């Protein structure tokens, strides 16, 4: 790790400073609702068309009003931006595009003053090829074994398409990259690599952050000897092997290795010293809840992302099955519920633009057992943008257009109001604002009592006020196939949640109690399509 003397001095001073969450309760992350901010697209404070740290600070009151508890900040480290921040050049600094280390310290303090938490992105499977570590490895200097080199490449493929190996003439060997060729994989079998990453994590813990979201953590270790992956025979690609080359393999040797458990144990021990949370992103194209669940628990991660529900088409039966499977797999630990993020099309594209669907999915996310994650803009039902080829910036979109246009469509600027560029910037943004920003923005929805934004806010308030919603057990109640009925219960209270994902009304079960909330403006003797009801049992 390279840390300047000035950073060390400032770092030491900060350890002595108090903030409201220094003595946070042990399992604070269970009760919290996380809000993911993609910094480039949240708010531009200096009119350069790119969001920044100062912009986030300006909107903390908004986030507090909405009712979220914790912020997950996508990467803001120095980067050549071959993968927009997920190719890191320096782990212990802030990219000048976003601001300074001092400004980030200010953001940490501002978040904590509001009783909220802040989590950073830990992209530790790979670095940028411009990172000093890789440059040293390339020249066979002191970091020669910090990356994965081979005299001959095996058949492993990159998640971004094509071979996972690139030849380096300087070293006359091939290096491994599970993603873009500008993102070489670190060699986690080298103890010095793990030691360096743990040191970096502690650097940020001591500055005051409350945890890390670990990018593709299950890729850290690779099988000794680098054997070929077997072919996957159950996949029939519709577009062709070039696009689906990654999915056409069984990735049994390039991820999910047994050595990972020891690594997670040591990460967890460090996190526990700071009462920090570890949230893992599990790379698994088979979308298995049980694969993510194996990494959660004592001496492991606190939470692990899984994307089965996110990938489920709008089919009420399949969606209810996915929710039941989620609760089953995490029955002895703690689930999280993620419906959108920076790598997937927005809900509007996956599940349709109807706002009634956005409301019922907010209900599903915020009333089930687990820690919810909200992606910026989903609280106003932001739409997925369709960009012409000349405006595509995402390297994946550039490579696979027109079969896949990439991830830019879910990363467009936040729509704050009706002013030019949606109130995001006074200058033309790095990506175009969605054309509907004048009729879909925060300012308009805050004034509309039945808006998606007010649905989120009301549910977030209820979740904070009722221990059953943020801490209670979940018990399934028999329901029609397109519905989910469940009880959230603590010793203090019992709430029954009824939601209908189908397009037909169903009978409301006989529950003695008081209705706390329903998504529709008027009451009915039936549970109508896309309606959710919370009943406090008497």
Helical H segments across 67-170, by residue range: 101-113, 132-138
Beta bridge partners of 296: 301
Identified catalytic residue from 52, 90, 281, 355: 281
pLDDT in 10s for each residue of the chain, 538 residues? 334 333 433 433 444 444 445 568 999 999 999 999 999 999 999 999 999 999 999 999 999 999 999 999 999 999 999 999 999 999 999 999 999 999 999 999 999 999 999 999 999 999 999 999 999 999 999 999 999 999 999 999 999 999 999 999 999 999 999 999 999 999 999 999 999 999 999 999 999 999 999 999 999 999 999 999 999 887 654 444 444 588 889 999 999 999 999 999 999 999 999 999 999 999 999 888 999 999 999 999 999 998 999 999 999 999 999 999 999 999 999 999 999 999 999 999 999 999 999 999 999 999 999 999 999 999 999 999 999 999 999 999 999 998 889 999 999 999 999 999 999 999 999 999 999 999 999 999 999 999 999 999 999 999 999 999 999 999 999 999 999 999 999 999 999 999 999 999 999 999 999 999 999 988 889 999 999 999 999 9
CB 53 within 8 A of CB 93: no
Q: Please give the model's pTM, rounded to 2 decimal places.
A: 0.95
Known catalytic residue: 215? yes
Known catalytic residue: 90? no
CB 249 within 8 A of CB 229: yes
CA distance 499 to 518: 9
Element counts in the chain: helices (H) and strands (E): 18, 18
CA distance 465 to 470: 9
* C-alpha separations of 412 from 380, 386, 439 in Å: 14, 10, 16
Identified catalytic residue from 44, 129, 182, 215: 215
Q: Structure tokens of 417?
A: 């109001």
């Amino acid at each position: 790790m390279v840390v300047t003397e000035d950073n060390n001095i400032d770092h030491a001073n900060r350890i002595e400073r108090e903030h409201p969450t220094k003595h946070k309760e042990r399992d604070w992350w269970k009760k919290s609702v996380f809000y993911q901010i993609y910094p480039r697209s949240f708010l531009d404070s200096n009119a350069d068309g790119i969001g920044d740290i100062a912009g986030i600070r300006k909107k903390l009151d908004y986030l507090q009003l909405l009712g979220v508890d914790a912020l997950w900040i996508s990467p803001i480290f120095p980067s050549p931006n071959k993968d927009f921040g997920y190719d890191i050049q320096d782990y212990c600094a802030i990219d000048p595009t976003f601001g300074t280390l001092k400004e980030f310290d200010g953001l940490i303090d501002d978040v904590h003053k509001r009783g909220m938490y802040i989590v950073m992105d830990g992209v530790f499977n790979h670095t940028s090829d411009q990172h000093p570590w890789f440059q040293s490895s390339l020249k066979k200097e002191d970091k020669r074994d910090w990356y994965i080199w081979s005299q001959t490449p095996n058949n492993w493929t990159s998640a971004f398409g094509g071979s996972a190996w690139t030849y380096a003439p300087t070293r006359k060997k091939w290096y491994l990259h599970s993603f873009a060729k500008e993102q070489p994989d670190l060699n986690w079998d080298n103890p010095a690599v793990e030691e360096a990453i743990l040191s970096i994590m502690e650097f940020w813990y001591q500055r005051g952050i409350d945890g890390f979201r670990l990018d593709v953590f299950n890729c850290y270790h690779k099988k000794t000897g680098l054997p070929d992956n077997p072919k996957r025979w159950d996949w029939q690609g519709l577009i062709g092997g070039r696009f689906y080359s990654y999915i056409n393999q069984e990735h049994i040797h390039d991820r999910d290795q047994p050595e990972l458990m020891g690594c997670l144990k040591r990460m967890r021990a460090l996190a526990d010293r700071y009462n920090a949370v570890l949230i893992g992103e599990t790379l698994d194209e088979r979308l298995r809840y049980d694969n993510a669940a194996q990494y959660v628990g004592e001496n492991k991660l606190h939470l692990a992302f899984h994307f089965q529900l996110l990938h489920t088409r709008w089919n009420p039966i399949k969606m209810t099955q996915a929710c039941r499977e989620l609760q089953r797999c995490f029955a002895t630990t703690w689930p999280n519920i993620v419906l959108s993020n920076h790598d997937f099309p927005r809900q509007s594209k996956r599940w349709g633009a109807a706002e009634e669907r956005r409301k019922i999915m907010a209900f599903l996310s915020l009333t089930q057992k687990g820690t919810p994650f909200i992606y910026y803009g989903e609280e106003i039902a932001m739409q997925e943008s369709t960009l012409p080829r000349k405006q595509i910036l995402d390297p994946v979109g550039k490579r696979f257009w027109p079969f896949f246009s990439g991830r830019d469509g879910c990363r467009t600027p936040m729509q704050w109001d009706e002013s030019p560029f949606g109130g995001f910037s006074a200058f033309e943004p790095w990506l175009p604002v969605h054309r509907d920003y004048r009729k879909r923005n925060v300012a308009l929805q805050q004034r509309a009592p039945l808006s998606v934004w007010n649905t989120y806010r009301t549910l977030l308030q209820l979740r904070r006020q009722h221990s059953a919603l943020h801490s209670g057990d979940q018990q399934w109640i028999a329901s029609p196939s397109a519905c989910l009925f469940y009880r959230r219960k603590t010793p203090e209270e019992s709430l029954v949640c009824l939601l209908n994902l189908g397009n037909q009304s169903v009978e409301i079960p006989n529950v003695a109690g008081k209705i706390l909330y329903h998504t529709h403006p008027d009451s009915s003797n039936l549970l109508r399509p896309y309606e959710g009801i919370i009943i406090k049992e008497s």
